Amino acid sequence: MNRASFFSPQAGKIIDAPRQTKARFAIGDVVRHRSHDFRGVIFDIDPVFANSEEWYESIPADIRPERDQPYYHLLAENEESSYVAYVSQQNLTGDAEGGPVDHPTVPQLFEAFKNGRYRLRHGLAH
């Protein structure tokens, strides 16, 4: 399989990943966690797990997701607070019908919520 590498600041190391992965969601999509009560807007995507080993090992083994799948960085919210979350693709589902995400960083990164998703502000896209 054709592979590529990238540096992950969260993991503090270079991560080896398949050159092509199948991301189900895109930057600006609004998603919901399948089993925990929070939702958010995607602001970055890792092609495979790229966080610290401590973070990964803190997930109970019986529900720990596989490493070789996309992981999403979310500006997340629940009823109590807003925060940044890191979630595997298998644990997310679309939530465009839920409306805009109430996170203080959203206006800095995205234009207004429109047609069920956000668009990155001009000048922030690669």
The one-character DSSP state at 114 is B
| Residues contacting residue 116 through CB under 8 Å, at least 6 positions apart | 30, 96, 97
pLDDT at 98: 87
| Residues contacting residue 114 through CB under 8 Å, at least 6 positions apart | none
pLDDT at 5: 65
In single-letter form, the type of residue at position 73 comes to H
Whether 122 is in a domain gets the answer no
Its domain, for residue 49, covers: 3-109
* Spans in the chain with pLDDT lower than 70: 1-21, 124-126
Contact by Cβ (8 Å): 76, 38: yes
pLDDT at 87: 97
What global pTM score does this model have?
0.82
Contact by Cβ (8 Å): 98, 10: no
CATH code, 58: 2.30.30.390
